[in-house]
Structures are given as structure tokens and as C-alpha cells.
Amino acid sequence: MSALEQSLPQLKPVERLKAIRAAVTGDLVFTTSFGLEDQVLTHLIAESGIVVNFATLDTGRLFPETYALWRETEARYGLRIAAYFPRHEAVEDYVADQGIDGFYTSLDARKACCHIRKVEPLKRVLKGAAGWITGLRADQSATRGETPFAAWDEGYQLTKFNPLLDWSRVQAAHFAETHRVPVSPLHAKGFLSIGCAPCTRTIAPGEPERAGRWWWEDEAKKECGLHVGPDGRLIRAEASA
């Protein structure tokens, strides 16, 4: 896999996807949250013709616009995006203990909510998979700058791929416009990084694109847990062997 990792930067995104599919023996999963990069990747995967399992995490707190885009995306590309929901008992217990919006009260409470609504469902999404495709970009935040194109993820026991790692937001937006990729109308309203509605706000001019996520927290700690280790830091996984 190390040879693949070294070759990915020289390839175009569609070629990267084809190379990833050829290298991965077993199920390859793409998780989408319907953000700009994920929509571009959906288009590229459809264009490449590779076989990928599409999945999304429905936290129960998404924007109405996200559900509308979900429906539009399935219709546009003729695919079904599997929905994974949090365990209802865990949500009920959390709300009983913390309140409906308890995640505002402390970092631990917010992380607990993200774990229930995102991290645990993702474990079910990736169970048994051999590869995981994400829409991470290196310039999305300071914590993501050292993310590799491909690396072994010890936590999920698979290889994680970031085929748009070296793209800028401007590149992704230009591609989406040129290829008429459906994108969230919230982007035009200043929501550049879109997650759960209560935890997402518009950003001010000059702010980084993820400033609108969990805006009440320390910038260095603003990850939901999908791409971090037990210590809360973004995983810098070792290169695949």
C-alpha cells in the first residue's frame, strides 16, 4: 500500500479513486455528510464507475437543507445512500441526563453527544470494510494539515483514503460549479462547514471555514471524533505498509 500512497499525489482525483479501488480487496466505503467536498467526491465516484458503498450518519439534528440535498443527490446520480442512525436508547439517556441541548454546557457533554450520534454509528458503517474514503482536505483546519493521502487506521482496522487532500475549497467550488454538482444552499449563506444544526453557524469574513463548527470551544479541540484518537487529537496514522 505504500506504493499507492506515494503515487496518489501525482494522479488526478478520478485516477486516485480508480487506483484505490484496484488496491483495496474487500468493501470500500465512502462516508458523506453532503458537504462541498463530499458532493464533489460523489460526482467523481459516479464518474469513475468504481464500486463503493455510500453511507451517511443521520444524527437526527441535521438541517432541513441537508435532507433535501440528500434526496437530490440520490436522484442525480441514481444511487442509494445508506443511513446510519444513533442508538435510540443512548440518545434518550443522553437527553434525560444532559437536556435536549446539553452539548453546549461542556466539552465532555458535547463529545458525548458526538460519540452517540456519530462515532458509534460510524463503527457500524465501517465494520468489516477494507477501505474508507473521506472528503478531508489538508487546508480545512490547522489540525488537518498533516493528514496523509492514505494510511492504516488502527482504530477501525482499515486503510483510510483522502483523495481530495491537496484540493483547496476554491478548487472544489469551481469543480462543483463547472460540473453542476448539487451543493447545499447553506454554503451561499455563509455556512461553509455544515454539521448538526445546533452546532453550526455562519462564519465571518476572514474566519477559517470550520470556525462555524462548535464555535464556543477552543479551536484546537474542534473535532467530532470521527477522525481523532482517544486523546481527542486528529489521527496522524502511520503510512500503510
- List the catalytic residues: 224
Q: Are strands 131-133 and 158-161 parallel, antiparallel or unpaired?
A: parallel
DSSP output for 93-155: HHHHHH-TTGGGS-HHHHHHHHIIIIIHHHHHHHTT-SEEE----GGG-GGGTT--SEEEETT
Report the sign of the C-alpha dihedral through residues 162, 168, 171, 173, in that order: positive
Q: CA–CA separation, 169 vs 208, rounded Å?
A: 11
Which letter, b or e, does each residue of 119-133 get, where b requires 16 or more Cβ atoms within 10 Å of its Cβ? bbbbeebbeebebbb
111: number of Cβ within 10 Å: 20
Q: CA–CA separation, 70 vs 172, rounded Å?
A: 18
In degrees, to the nearest 5, what angle opens at C-alpha 107 toward C-alphas 229 and 148? 30
